[in-house]
Amino acid sequence: MSKAKKLESEVVERPDDITVTAPESHENFTNIKPFEYWNDKSGSDRNALVILNQSIEGCNLYKLWHNTELHVCADGGANRLYEYFNNDTNDNRSKYIPDYIVGDLDSLKDEVKNYYETKGSKVIPQITQYSTDFTKSMNIIQLYFFSSESRQSLDSVQDFNNGIAESLEKFNVPNNQAAIRIYILSGIGGRFDQTIHSISQLYILNESVPYLQLFFITTSDVIFLLKKGKNYVSYPSKSTFHDKSSVPTCGLLPLGNNEVILSTYGLKYDVTNWPSEMLGNVSSSNGVSGVTGFIVDASDPIVMNIETSYAI
Amino acid sequence: MSKAKKLESEVVERPDDITVTAPESHENFTNIKPFEYWNDKSGSDRNALVILNQSIEGCNLYKLWHNTELHVCADGGANRLYEYFNNDTNDNRSKYIPDYIVGDLDSLKDEVKNYYETKGSKVIPQITQYSTDFTKSMNIIQLYFFSSESRQSLDSVQDFNNGIAESLEKFNVPNNQAAIRIYILSGIGGRFDQTIHSISQLYILNESVPYLQLFFITTSDVIFLLKKGKNYVSYPSKSTFHDKSSVPTCGLLPLGNNEVILSTYGLKYDVTNWPSEMLGNVSSSNGVSGVTGFIVDASDPIVMNIETSYAI
């Protein structure tokens, strides 16, 4: 297996298991729990599943679906959901009906549109080419969770060009909302421009709508953004997300056009004041050592991936 | 289908098919031919196939194999090649024997190692953790193609820690070599840190070993780097790489730490002096309109992907 480039002076190799204490509550840090969706739905229901128009074959749809409140398909993402049940003999297709299907709808198949409309999905055309179906899905999620009035506005969208974005502007949603967790299937791992568009949105939404917490789920890993400053990534145990390796693979990926200075505690190869950038050091093929969590201090937001054995 | 964010003022929508004249021979430009591997091997034999340790299921291995001279597996990449033939009843496994298997070999299965050694593969352990199996493969390729002496040096590697890199240093290969085309299977689309490591190497090798031309092949697209300056991307016809769409999807992806100013001619959505960066504009879900080629002028190197229907 490939290993991260490790600079002797700034890298320490850890044992497979180390205990990392959570930061003190008075410290300023962001707690990220990437694997909440493996737990039964409980507590907050401010979470959503989004399906984009790339293959979802091999993805663990059921767990994600039942642990999320709102289900949105972006245009041809509805085709992917529909086709997921092509070989299913238990009529599961009729049990997994998205709440909304949104986009310019140039990919949505008539058969799929008719099926889901009959079953109660709201299909909302938004044909503007100046935003993507991904962005249109994020707008729906914000309106759905903000207030009963904004949620109701989704029942009567009149402007099929860009009405949802304009409605969102009208409601003027403040940024100090409670977090909304959004799990996204098929945003990463298919066509590469779609993958990079997803990553770009991860950075852009972190600035413009910071209360949206995005988690991209692929057949091999979970991908999310660490915030600027101290991040505490936590989980009940490593077996929550991996049952085949004591040190699940992970990476810290500086895709935001800035060099990021990293200090970590709880990875297999921990770094201190380590400059990371695409034309220099990238911490790939690293591993998770912390038994219930680890800490990443970052001078700027940075993408992280953690391998999971449960996606497929 | 999602569409790129298009800024009206700087973006022109083209017809599905437009004819783009190649730059004049006296102009300074880079000609990139991403789909040469679909043609029968002819002319230059300075090309190689590299298989990394991620799934190659669904990849069109045969075409790639027969149109390349040298075949290298990076560590567990050999397992992937071996397993590719698991359900094959024609003993094709024995016809696709890699020339070299290199890496720290912590992933290579004994059964696979024994099989390929018996069939003539050279298995070269390089256990240093300060470079990746990807880099070790690139080093082998450079030694193989430089001179008969450097090629022979691969028969008698003594230093199993980092001997190949040291040998490469000794031969002091100049950078004004004829291009070597390298096709890489499974470098992109699997675990996300592996994907980004691959992209990082695309940028780094462009600076350090510019005569290596890398093409990452996934099940949905081909991914490569455009050089700083004028690039002419050409092909016999669009049907060379896509038989299901008259405007195959493509993207221009600014992953190299810099904002890139783009001017294009021959894309569905052509741009002029368009600033592109991860926290701003990213041209995703664009399309190929040029019937035999298109032009991209870039202020810095930038990653491009083009969708192909023939990968699987």
B159: nearest Cα among B122, B125, B208, B203: B125
Q: Are B302 and B225 in contact (CB under 8 A)?
A: yes
Whether residue A170 is predicted with pLDDT greater than 50 in this model: the reply is yes
- CB contacts, 8 Å: A8 with chain B: 130
The residues pairing with B231 across neighbouring beta strands, listed in sequence order, are B30, B296
Reported confidence tier of residue A158, pLDDT bands at 50, 70, 90: very high
B257, A253: Cβ pair inside 8 Å? Answer: no
Task: Indicate the residue of B5, B107, B196 with minimum beta-carbon distance to A130.
Answer: B5
Lowest mean pLDDT among A23-27, B44-48, B106-110: B44-48
Residue-level pLDDT at B131: 85
Helix or strand run (H / E) with residue A201: helix A192-208
pLDDT digits (tens, 9 = 90+) for A291-306: 999 999 999 999 999 9
Q: Are B217 and B61 in contact (CB under 8 A)?
A: no
Residue-level pLDDT at B63: 85
C-alpha B309/C-alpha B312 separation (Å) is: 7
Q: Are A127 and A157 in contact (CB under 8 A)?
A: no
Q: Mean pLDDT over all residues of chain A? A: 92
CATH topology for the A1-43+226-312 domain: Jelly Rolls (2.60.120)
- Polymer length of chain A: 312
CATH 2.60.120.320 residue spans of chain B: 1-41+221-312
Q: Are A86 and A56 in contact (CB under 8 A)?
A: no
Residue-level pLDDT at B41: 56
Helix (H, G, I), strand (E, B), or coil: what is residue A184? strand
Residue-level pLDDT at A257: 84
pLDDT digits (tens, 9 = 90+) for B171-215: 999 999 999 999 999 899 999 999 999 999 999 999 999 999 999
Residue-level pLDDT at B40: 59
Task: Indicate the residue of A52, A223, A257 with minimum beta-carbon distance to B278.
Answer: A257
Whether residue B259 is predicted with pLDDT greater than 80 in this model: the reply is yes
Residue-level pLDDT at A131: 85
Cα torsion A236, A241, A246, A247: sign = negative
- CB contacts, 8 Å: A255 with chain B: 196, 255, 278
B75, A1: Cβ pair inside 8 Å? Answer: yes
Owner of token pair 């940024």? A175
pLDDT digits (tens, 9 = 90+) for B141-154: 999 999 999 999 99
Say what percent of chain A tops pLDDT 70. Answer: 95
CATH 2.60.120.320 residue spans of chain A: 1-43+226-312
Reported confidence tier of residue B95, pLDDT bands at 50, 70, 90: very high
CATH 3.40.50.10240 residue spans of chain A: 47-177
Residue-level pLDDT at A129: 82
A197, B285: Cβ pair inside 8 Å? Answer: yes
Whether residue B303 is predicted with pLDDT greater than 90 in this model: the reply is yes
Whether residue A76 is predicted with pLDDT greater than 60 in this model: the reply is yes
What number does CATH give the domain A47-177? 3.40.50.10240
A191, B134: Cβ pair inside 8 Å? Answer: no
Reported confidence tier of residue A4, pLDDT bands at 50, 70, 90: very low
CATH 3.30.920.30 is right for the domain spanning B1-41+221-312:
no
Residue-level pLDDT at A10: 82
Between residues A5 and A2, the one the model is more confident about: A5
- CB contacts, 8 Å: A192 with chain B: 188-189, 218, 220-221, 223, 251, 253, 303, 305
A1, B282: Cβ pair inside 8 Å? Answer: no
Backbone torsions φ then ψ of A234, nearest 5 degrees: -130, 160
Reported confidence tier of residue B5, pLDDT bands at 50, 70, 90: very low
| Cα A297 versus chain centre, distance | 20
Q: Are A34 and A223 in contact (CB under 8 A)?
A: no
Task: Indicate the residue of B192, B254, B305 with minimum beta-carbon distance to A251.
Answer: B192
- The residue in chain A having the minimum alpha-carbon distance to the alpha carbon of residue B186 is A189
Residue-level pLDDT at A288: 98
Whether residue A137 is predicted with pLDDT greater than 50 in this model: the reply is yes
- Output the six-digit token pair for B89: 């009843």
| Residues B76-101, mean pLDDT to the nearest whole number | 95
B196, A249: Cβ pair inside 8 Å? Answer: no
B3, A132: Cβ pair inside 8 Å? Answer: yes
Residue-level pLDDT at B25: 85
Q: Are A217 and B217 in contact (CB under 8 A)?
A: no
| Cα B57 versus chain centre, distance | 17
Lowest mean pLDDT among A207-221, A249-263, B28-42, B187-201: B28-42
Q: Are A280 and A297 in contact (CB under 8 A)?
A: no
Residue-level pLDDT at B2: 38
Residue-level pLDDT at B257: 83
A5, B52: Cβ pair inside 8 Å? Answer: no
| Residues A144-167, mean pLDDT to the nearest whole number | 95
One-letter amino acid identity for A207? E
| Residues B45-55, mean pLDDT to the nearest whole number | 92
Helix/strand/coil (H, E, C) string of A12-63? EECCCCECCCCCCCCCCEEEECCCHHHCCCCCCCCEEEEECCCCCCCCCHHH
